Amino acid sequence: MQNIFRSVSRFFLVTILALVAVAGRAGNPPAEFDVVIYGGTASGVMAAVSAAREGQRVAILEPKNHIGGMVTGGLSRTDIGRREVIGGLAKELYVRTSAIYRKDKDTMYWFPEPHVAEKILNDLIKENNIQVFYQHRLKEKGGVKKKNGRITEIVMENG
């Protein structure tokens, strides 16, 4: 399980790896997940997809109303560097982008519009049964509860 996340930069993503109880809404019992990703950036979605494809129950806690971070917020000219080294889920995103634009059957399309990138990320979330909690910010004080050094529960500002 740890190998999945080694390639995800900690700079872009805060990942909480534990069996985590997320407080339910209005009388609903807490939901339990194996992996909870705090922040629905493109990297957060890719980490969630990786974990879900490994059979984990996954949730994304997104403080805002949209997923994708900069990729869906207007950064359309992706800094891709050497295209031949892009693989895995990043390449899957670009393959799906190419299929949507149908630019050329043999040419990869590297610069999706924000709404196209958001559609692809939402499709990945749905296909992998990932639950997304929008407008959920971690409570600053007392938001993380631990037992024996292990995260057992997280509490959001809105419950």
> Which of 124 and 15 is assigned the larger pLDDT?
124
Provide the 8-state DSSP code for 65: S
Residue 10 has pLDDT above 60, yes or no: no
Reported pTM: 0.76
> Which of 55 and 26 is assigned the larger pLDDT?
55
Residue 102 has pLDDT above 90, yes or no: no
Rounded to a whole number, what is the largest CA-CA distance in the chain? 55
Q: Which helix (H) or strand (E) holds 36?
A: strand 31-38
For residues 115-133, average pLDDT: 96
Residue 146 has pLDDT above 80, yes or no: yes
**Tokens 């891709």 identify what position?**
80
For residues 101-105, average pLDDT: 73
Encoded amino acid at 9, one letter: S
For residues 90-100, average pLDDT: 90
Alpha carbon distances (Å) from 72 to 26, 60, 131: 31, 16, 19
For residues 67-89, average pLDDT: 81
Residue 47 has pLDDT above 80, yes or no: yes
Q: pLDDT averaged over the chain?
A: 80
List the domains of the chain with CATH numbers: 2-76+115-154 (3.50.50)
